[in-house]
Structure formats: C-alpha cells, structure tokens
Copies of this chain bind each other. A is one copy, B any other.
Amino acid sequence: MDTYLILSALAGVVALLFAFFLASSISKANAGNERMREIAGYIHEGAMAFLYREYRYLVIFAIAVFIILSIFINWQTAVCYIAGALCSVLAGYIGMQVATKANVRTTEAARNGMGQAIKIAFSGGAVMGMSVAGLGVLGLGAMFLLFAKDVNYIAGFGLGASSIALFARVGGGIYTKAADVGADLVGKVEAGIPEDDPRNPAVIADNVGDNVGDVAGMGADLFESYVGSLISAFTLGVLIFKGGEGVLFPIALCALGIIASIIGILVGRGSNADNPQAALNMGTYVAGGITVVAAGVLSMWLFGDLKAFLALTAGLIAGLAIGKVTEIYTSGDYGSVKKIAEQSQTGPATTIISGMAVGMYSTMWPMLFITAGMLVSYFVMGGGLKGLYGIALAAVGMLSTTGITVAVDAYGPISDNAGGIAEMSELPHSVREVTDKLDAVGNTTAAIAKGFAIGSAALTALALFASYAQSVKLDAIDLLDPLTLAGLFLGAMVPFLFGALTMEAVGKAANEMIEEVRRQFREIPGLMEGKAKAEYATCVDIATGAALHKMVVPGTLAVVLPLAVGLILGTESLAGFVAGALVTGVLMAVFMANAGGAWDNAKKYIEGGEYGGKGSNTHKAAVVGDTVGDPFKDTSGPAMNILIKLMTIVSLVFAPVFVKYGGLVSHLLK
C-alpha cells in the first residue's frame, strides 16, 4: 500500500515537470516588439511587486501562527502549516510568473490569428493549474508520509493553504476591483479616453489586477479546496479503513486526475483552433471522462464495490450542474440577463432590483445540487462515519481535475491582458479582435469555474465540518441546545459582516486610486496629449498597499471569531457557528457572484446593440448595475469561499484546544 501512496504523491512531480515543459514552450515564443515588451514588463513588475509586498505581511502572519501552533497544538502541525503555506505561495508565484509572460506572447501570436494565440494563453493557464494540483498532491503526500501517516497533523497543511488563500483571494479581490474602478471612473468617464489607453495612469494596475485577482486568487482558492477535501478524506479514511485504502483512494484519484488533466490539456491545445470554446470544452470532458473511469476501477480494486465511485461521481455531477446553472443565470444567451437588460430601460433602480432578484433566485438550484450531492454521497456509502467519508469523496470528485479547471479559468485573464497589451501598444485593431474573441470564451468558462469553486468550497467545508466533529468527539450537534442555536445565529451573521467589510474595502481602495489618477492628470504636463508618461508604478503601489491594508480586519475576524466562539461558548456551539457560516456563506457567495455576473453580461448584451446600444440611457443604467456587480462578483462573493473554509479549518486545527479549554462561559451557565 505504501508504494502506491508514494507513487501517487509522485504524480505531483509529473505535474510540475509538465508545468515546466509548458512554461519553457511559452518562454520560447516571440514576445513582440519593444513597446509590447515594455508594457508587459510593467505588468510583470507590478504583479511581482504585489506578491513581494504580500509576502512581507505573510511572513509576519505565518510566524505568528507558527508560534501559536507550536505552543498550543504541537510542532508537527506547525511544520505542516508552514509546508502548506509554502506550497500555496510557490504555486501562486509560478502561476503569476508564467501568466505575465504568456500575456504578451499571446498578443504577439494573435497578430497571426487564433491558432497560436489560444495555445499560448491556454498553456499559461495550464501552468497555474498544474502547479496547484502538483504541489497539492506532492506537499500533502510528503507531510502525510513524513509524520508516519498520523492524520492529526495534516490539518495544519490546510490551515497554511487557507492563510495564503485569504491573502490572495481577498487581498487580490480588493486590488483588482480598486484598480478597475479607478481606471474606469477617471479614465473612461472623466477624461473620456478609451479602455486600456496608455495615457491612463491606472491602466497597468488594472491589468496587474487581472493577474492578482483572477490567476493567483482563483489558484489559491482552489488549492485550498483541493488540499482541504483531501485532508478531510484522509482524516475520516484512516478512522474507518484500517488497511490504508481510505487514504489511498482519494490521493490515487487525484494522481490519476493529474494525468487526466495533462491529457485534457494536450487535447485542448491541439484541437481545432477555429472554435476555442469547443477546444476548451473538449479538454475538460476528456479529463473528466478519464477520471470517472479511473474512479470506477480504483473503487472496485480498493473497496470491492462501486460505492466510493458513486459518492465521488455525485460530487462531480453536482459541480457540473452548479456550473451549468451559473451559466444560465449569468450568460446573455438566457432569459435572466435579457430581463435585466429590459428592465434597464426604466433606469438604474430597476436594473438593480431585477439583478438582485436574479441573484437571489439563482441560489435555489446550487443549494439543491449541493444538498443532493451531499445526501447521495452519504447514503450511497451506507451512512454514519462511512457516509461522512462519502461526502469528503464527493468534494474530492469535484476537485480531482483541478489541474484543467484552473487552466481553463486562468486562460481568461491572460487573454484579457493580451488585449490590453495590444491596445496599449497600438497594434492593428485586428489583433484586439482576436484577443477579444479569446476573452469572450474566457468569460463563460470563468463563470463555470466560479460555480465549481463555490460548490467545492461548500462540500469541502462540509467534509471538514464532519472531521471537526470527529476531532472534538461530538456525537451530536443538537440544535435544541440554545448554545448550538446561538452559534448558528452568530455564524450565519458572519458572511454578512464579511460582505460589508470587503465591499467597503473596495470602495475605500478605489477612492484612493481615483485621487491618484486625478492628481496625475492634473500635475503631469502633457500626459493627456500623450507626450508625457504616466507614473504607473505609483498606482500599482497604491492598489497594492490599499488591498493589503484593507484585508487585515476581515482576515483577522475570519481567524479570531471561530477561536472566540470555541473558547467562550464551547465545541458544540462552535459546530453550530461553522454550520451557520457555511450555509449563509454559500448563499451569499452564489447570490453575489451571480447577480454580479448577470449585471456584467446585461451591460454587454446592451452593448451588442439591444435597447439602444452603447451610450443610450438604458446602457447607462446597465453600467450602474455592472459597477455594483464588480465588488459583488470579484471581491465579496469569492471571499465567501475562503471565509467558510478558513473558519472550518481553524476550528479543526484548534480542536484540541477547544476540548481542553473551550466553553468558558457555557460551563458557567450550565
């Protein structure tokens, strides 16, 4: 069994080698003329500046947590924590390095049509995907084997991944929207210059934001889910199956998922370039198909039946279904978006009301699918502890092809960047047309990836929730106990608080950005005429600083609140707290992401010529919806994924402390 375990972990090395192969093939591509390279250089520098500044915060944060873990838990968990954080950082670093190389090379390739451009952009995304999956399997596998397969320590690895995800996703989300709003409001609206115009001082920050938020942020989010679901499956698997098959099944599946993702990526890169959407879809289906077959074989081999396979497939289907629903509610091809566009005719208020209604409606199906996925995976495994293991497998199933999921998603911002570079380098309009087409494909796939991110976050948090209950030895979490109910009430409130904090953060950061852009237009002579250069670096610096400052409060809350509830109200109350946060967190995530996506595409639908097209009053109303939707879909909504996973894993890691010292007040009351 050990040999297989080691082999599975080594699949991570294969993933990294493949990422290396893709990265060097990108490096070899032509990076365009001097102007293009200069602009790409700014973006690259800006992205790296964000990373390095983030690392400074991170180091302090990580050292503090390391010390706390060493004192209150044990040094092994602390080591796992550092390993998890390092793996996530490394994946993000590799992904960003390559994405900021792939963007300009995609632009250059787009001068000769779609064929080569899609290949480079997709390869760029695939590097991020392979790094996430590879470092996840390798890092977690190494820790598991290092500590003699004792599952008590590896939750630390998940906590490490969660910490980085917090910085990358929440900080990145604030960054990208602050830069976006700043660039749009002063550049497009006040100065009246087009999008991605090099005279706009915030334009580089805006392009950096795409990388920071959509490449690194999404990558860290899925890395966290990926290792979280594995940790939960490991914890429960060791408890139930004594022969090691409970651990081998999920990790071997992820190893095969990596191989399947590599095949899928090769299919995606090689297939017909005239239809990029079909190419991406084909790659995804091939990878999914292989994984499902592999799951069936593994299930028969390890358990002698297909139960584990069915549990896992339930998760996969739920993930796909959520993705499809996300598309239906947010794509311009369907009724919801068209209705928002229609309602925009009576002004911005009706745009907002109808978008909110769409977002609220859209929570129904994902909740049903998550519930169904959970029930099927639980009961198909026979309920009880095995059933909980089944839920963990459903999460693993959704995430086993993370390699290609991230690849398809990160491809979007790379194409978006490529378009920006084409614009800023004043390349012929035909180049921009090609990158726009690539970007449009990216938008649809990004919506689906968001659905996947939410679904997997929910199932992962559920599985970790079950692990937590095991860990603190709760036989039941009784809602008739008012302490549990109190936890439920308080936990359910946290996503609302988190949403308010992150939306406000975007607003404040955007205001700083707006001030700076206005200052540059005012103080730099000749900037408007294109004779002087804008100070891009100052804008990048402001966005970076603001994003990192503004995430301190929500980030601290996400860590401190579960600790406070556990210590004051006790383990059962904390379970209620986590359940409450999980349930409203998922609802708010879906609501905000889909309302935001629907507003975005309603605006695009009108720009396509409906209801008076660009510049009409209807369009103006739709722009209001889009602006409201920006922090909804790119900051607060995705931040919920992190919140629910982070609070659950904090509870799991600190379980021993709660058992010992928890419930200070509740003991007094009882």
Contact = CB atoms under 8 A, between A and B. Distances in A.
Specify which of A370, A379, A469, A631 lies most central, judged by the most chain B CB atoms within 10 Å of its CB: A379
Specify which of A375, A474, A631 lies most central, judged by the most chain B CB atoms within 10 Å of its CB: A375
Q: Chain A at the B interface: mostly helix, strand, loop or mixed?
A: helix
Given A486-B371, A489-B367, A624-B347, A579 B497 contact: no
A482 B379 CA distance: 9
B474 A480 contact: yes
Given A500-B360, A587-B492, A579 B349 contact: no
A316 to B, nearest CB: 18
Nearest to A377: B482
Contact of A375 (B348, B368, B483, B496): B483
A364 to B, nearest CB: 6
B497 A375 contact: no
Specify which of A383, A469, A479, A623 lies most central, judged by the most chain B CB atoms within 10 Å of its CB: A479
Interface stretch (A64-72, A122-130, A350-358, A646-654): A350-358
A440 B482 CA distance: 40
Interface band, chain A:
35 or more
Interface string A489-531: 1101100110110011011000000000000000000000000
A506 B383 CA distance: 45
A624 B477 contact: no
A322 interface: no
Interface string A622-635: 01100110010000
B370 A489 contact: yes
A305 interface: no
Contacts of A507: 343, 350, 353-354, 357
Contacts of A238: none
B350 A489 contact: no
Contacts of A474: 480
A170 B359 CA distance: 21
A479 B375 contact: no
Contact of A357 (B347, B349, B391, B500): B500
B361 A497 contact: yes
Specify which of A371, A383, A488, A507 lies most central, judged by the most chain B CB atoms within 10 Å of its CB: A371
A370 B359 CA distance: 28
A363 interface: yes
B482 A479 contact: no
A374 B576 CA distance: 15
Contacts of A185: 346
Interface string A276-307: 00000000000000000000000000000000
A431 to B, nearest CB: 31
Contact of A624 (B348, B357, B576): B348
Contacts of A484: 479
A31 B316 CA distance: 70
Contacts of A353: 503, 506-507, 627-628, 631
Contact of A496 (B360, B374, B579, B624): B360
Contacts of A493: 363-364, 367-368, 587
A499 B375 contact: no
Contacts of A357: 499-500, 503-504, 507
A669 interface: yes
A140 interface: no
Specify which of A358, A367, A474 lies most central, judged by the most chain B CB atoms within 10 Å of its CB: A367
A478 interface: yes
Contact of A584 (B391, B479, B485, B584): B584
A556 to B, nearest CB: 16
Contacts of A368: 490, 493
Nearest to A469: B480
A469 to B, nearest CB: 6
A488 B628 CA distance: 30
A309 to B, nearest CB: 19
A580 interface: yes
A43 B127 CA distance: 69
Contacts of A506: 353
Contacts of A363: 493, 496-497
A480 B388 CA distance: 9
Contact of A476 (B346, B476, B490): B476
A466 interface: yes
Contacts of A378: 482
A623 B476 CA distance: 50
A466 B480 contact: yes
A353 B178 CA distance: 13
A168 B621 CA distance: 33
Contact of A477 (B379, B480, B586): B480
A591 interface: yes
Contacts of A260: none
Contacts of A360: 496-497, 499-500, 503
Specify which of A347, A356, A462 lies most central, judged by the most chain B CB atoms within 10 Å of its CB: A356
B587 A496 contact: yes
A583 interface: yes
Specify which of A350, A357, A370, A631 lies most central, judged by the most chain B CB atoms within 10 Å of its CB: A357
A391 B482 contact: yes
A579 B485 contact: yes
14 contacts: A352-B352, A352-B628, A357-B504, A361-B500, A367-B489, A371-B489, A371-B490, A466-B480, A476-B478, A477-B480, A478-B478, A478-B479, A485-B579, A624-B624
